[in-house]
Every structure is written in C-alpha cells, then in structure tokens.
Amino acid sequence: MLPFNFASSTTILACLGLLASSVGLSVAVSIQTPALDSLTPAKLASVRTNALAISTHSWELGTLTEALTELEWPSLAVFAPHSIPPPSHLSSWDNAGDVIKIATEVVRNKTADTLPLIDGDGAVGDPASLGFSVLLANWTRTNKSDTVFSVDAQEQLEYLLTDAPRSPQGAISHRESQVQLWADFVYMAPPFIAYYGALEGGSGGQALLQTAYDQARLYRDVLYDADVSLWRHIALGDGTDPTHWATGNAWAAAGMLRVLATIRQSDFAEKMLPQQKNLTIWVNEIFTGAWSRQQTNGTLLNYLDQPSSFADSSSTALMAAATFRYTTLTGDFSHVPAAVRARQLIHESVDADGWLLNTVDPEVFSAPSQPGQHSPEGQSFVLLLEAAWTAFQAL
C-alpha cells in the first residue's frame, strides 16, 4: 500500500495558496510530503525496465523515448525552459544515453528506400513519434560530420508533408491506405513537426510550428464532439470508431501540450500567442469532458462516457500526466484534484514487479488486456505521469 492520499496532496496544493478556496482548506503551514508519495525508486525503475523490454511498435518506442527524456533528462524535454535548442554536446552526467541509443538503432535499421523512420504498420503518424529523439541525437551528436540523423529526420518530415494522403481540408491522414483521422496522431506527428520547426528557426521554422498547430486544429475540427466535450477516436474512411476512447482523448491532449510547450520554447512564442491560446482551450475542454466522468476510485473508463465500459489505467495515467503538465504551463489548477486522484489509482495499480495492471489492450481498443498481458504504452504513461508530477511539484 502506498500511504499517499488525496488529503495530503491537497495540503501540498493548499500550501501553494492556489487551491485553498476551491477545496475549502486554509493555507497550511508546512508542506507534508508523505514518505512514499511517489512510486518507490525501485518500483519506478522496474516500470522503466519493463517499458524498455516490451516496446516494439514505432509508436511505443516513440512514446518511450519521450517518457525517458521527460523523466530522466528533463532539461532536454520541451517542457523545460531553454530546452530549444539542446546543447550541441551532452555532458556525461546528462547524456540522454537510453534515448540516443534507441534513436541510433532506428537510423541504423532504416533503409535508404523508405522515408519514414521505421515501419509504421500502415500508420502515417506513428513512426514520426521517433522524430524527436532522432532530432535530439542529431543536434547533440559527437561526430559532427555524421549527417545520418539529420537526413533521416528530414525524410520523415518530407513523408508527412508531401507523401502522406490528406483530407480536403489538409489534415494529414493517420493511415497510408486511405484518408482517416485518429486522435492518436496528435501525439505522434505534430510534436515532431513543431520541434523540427523550433530547431530550424527562421520563416521556415515558423511555418512548421504553424503546421503542427494547424494539424491539431484540423484534427479537432473533425474529431471533437462538443456535446460531450470529448474527441471521437477515428473518423473518415472505412472502419471508423466514433466512441470517445479514453486513450485517444489523452493522446490528443498530451500531444497538443507538447506542441504548445514547443511553441513557447521557440523564437515565435510571442508571434504565436493566439495559437497558444487555442491549444490551451482545446486541451482544457478534453480535461473537462474526461474528468467529469472520472470514477470515484480515480479511474477513467475505456469509453469515457459509457458506464458499462471497463476501467482503464493506461488512459488514466496519460490523462493525469497531461493534466499536471497543463497546470504547470498555464497555472490553471482546476483539474488538479482529479489528476491527484488518478495518480493515487495508478500507484495502487502498479504491481510489485513494476507492471501497470488493468490496461486496455492497445491493439484491440474495445478489450482489456488479459491477465499476464501488459501495455507497452501504459508502462511509458506511468513514466510520463511521474515526470509531470515532479515538474508540477517544483512549481
């Protein structure tokens, strides 16, 4: 049992003097951090080891590289001030070793005759999730005559911008074989396009930041369901999924936040204030829709607004991670109590061996993982949650 509980965390928040009125507490005198208020370091290390062991698909590896960066090398993640550009040489104690290792393997495996970084199993967006780590590897590489990371990142971008099918409005399809929009795309491709643009700078860089924003906007235009303040999962083409899939909503919110943070760390933060404002609104509306349907024990349901749906810890972890990031970026604390309850549930859902239990099977959206099966992305979401919580606590 982890002794962390909601009451003690509201004490922490009340200390910040920011939630005091909304939770009816007076400002407490001291911050009381329970001894085990996060996963124990050993357990978190097991979560990480397991994530590395079972992540194989492009989007799983891409999400893992982002999670490792945020957790272990936070100064290199886009949420950190002055993270763009990264240093041209990494120090031996802050070397993003495990992230660079994955990026290096990806470019070593890549063949010259394909533009995407890795086989995306028919998905346009998924390989792009590795783009951040490849750009980081390029920028910080020790051998400055080695252009392979740069060329491969360029080709991935070219694929997204010129090869992939698009909707009539310009949304880049998430699928290669037909024009189809999946909420998942928003975490996979726009953050890469934005980071590429922020590094490039100049008018070309600004245009890429605008493209990243526009893709989020175009996806929202099609997928957002204002009646419930949630996104649908998949629209257009054959085989749509109009349900309000919890992980899809979390992908969209978390992806838009990375775009927002990247714009903020770029040279165009001031020029792109209206875009920043819209991203903030669009993320907030997802939290409003999702957390209003949170169950009493802190979990979200796999289909957020279907009471008969099963409890899913994966989406709960990513939604909570995104919520702490959102709060840290915006100073809007309104969703924090829900995210704190969610984090408690996640801590109780990680078993002694570092596996997140009660996850949706990410390849069969409608079914829970069978006992003994684990979710690669769910493992990374726990890492993202702890990284976001750490940043939030440092507020």
Choosing from 64, 230, 235, 311, the residue that interacts with ligand NAG (CB under 6 A) is 311
- Cα dihedral across residues 18, 22, 26, 30: positive or negative: negative
For residue 309, the 8-state DSSP code is S
Min dist CB 296 to ligand NAG, Å, is 7
Q: Mask: binding to ligand NAG, 328-367, rule CB under 6 A, as x and -?
A: ---------------------x--------x---------
Number of residues this chain uses to bind ligand NAG (CB under 6 A)? 26
C-beta contacts of 232-237 below 8 A and 24+ residues apart: 232/183, 233/182, 233/183, 233/365, 234/180, 234/181, 234/182, 234/183, 235/180, 235/181, 236/167, 236/178, 236/179, 236/180, 236/181, 237/175, 237/178, 237/179, 237/180
Rounded to an integer, what distance in angstroms lies between the CA atom of residue 135 and that of residue 138? 5
- Min dist CB 199 to ligand NAG, Å, is 5
299 is an interface residue for ligand NAG by CB under 6 A: yes
Choose one: 167-175, 181-189, 222-230, 291-299; the region binding ligand NAG (CB under 6 A). 291-299
Residue 21 vs 297, nearer CB to ligand NAG: 297
Binding-site string for ligand NAG from residue 26 to residue 65, where x marks contact by CB under 6 A and - marks none: -----------------------------------x----
Nearer to ligand NAG, 143 or 370 (CB): 143
Q: How far is the CB of 109 from ligand NAG (least distance, A)?
A: 4
Give the Cα separation of 19 and 194 in Å (integer): 33
- Residue 22 or 154 with smaller CB distance to ligand NAG: 154
C-alpha to C-alpha distance for 153 and 200, rounded to whole angstroms: 12
Among 9, 1, 3, 8, which Cα is nearest to 339's?
9
CB of 107 to ligand NAG, least distance (A): 9
Contact string (CB under 6 A) for ligand NAG, positions 177-216, x = contact: ----------------------x-----------------
- Binding-site string for ligand NAG from residue 125 to residue 164, where x marks contact by CB under 6 A and - marks none: ----------x--xx---xxxx---x--xx----------
- Provide the total of helices (H) and of strands (E) in the chain, helices listed first: 14, 6
What would the DSSP string read from start to end of 28-86? Answer: PSS----TTSS--HHHHHHHHHHHHHH--SHHHHHHHHHHHHHHH-GGGSTTSTT-SSP
Q: Write the binding mask 60 to 89 for ligand NAG: x where contact by CB under 6 A, - elsewhere.
A: -x----------------------------
CB of 28 to ligand NAG, least distance (A): 29
Q: Are the beta carbons of 218 and 282 closer than 8 angstroms?
A: no
- We find the least distance from the C-beta atom of residue 390 to ligand NAG, in angstroms, to be 24
Q: Which residues lie closer than 8 Å to 1 by C-beta, 6 or more apart? A: 348
Query: φ and ψ at 149, to 5 degrees?
Result: -65, -40
What sign does the CA torsion over 358, 360, 364, 367 have?
Answer: positive
Q: Residue 164 is inside which H or E element, if any? A: none
Residues 94-113 that bind ligand NAG (CB under 6 A): 102, 105-106, 109
Closest CB 327 distance from ligand NAG, rounded Å: 22
The contact pattern for ligand NAG, residues 237-276, with x = CB under 6 A and - = no contact, is -------------------------------------xx-
Q: Tokens 């392979």 sit at which residue?
A: 148
If one asks whether residue 300 binds ligand NAG (CB under 6 A), the answer comes out as: no
Residue 20, classified by CB atoms within 10 Å of its CB into exposed (0-12), middle (13-18) or buried (19+), is middle
Residues near ligand NAG, by CB under 6 A: 61, 102, 105-106, 109, 118, 135, 138-139, 143-146, 150, 153-154, 199, 274-275, 278, 295, 297, 299, 311, 349, 358
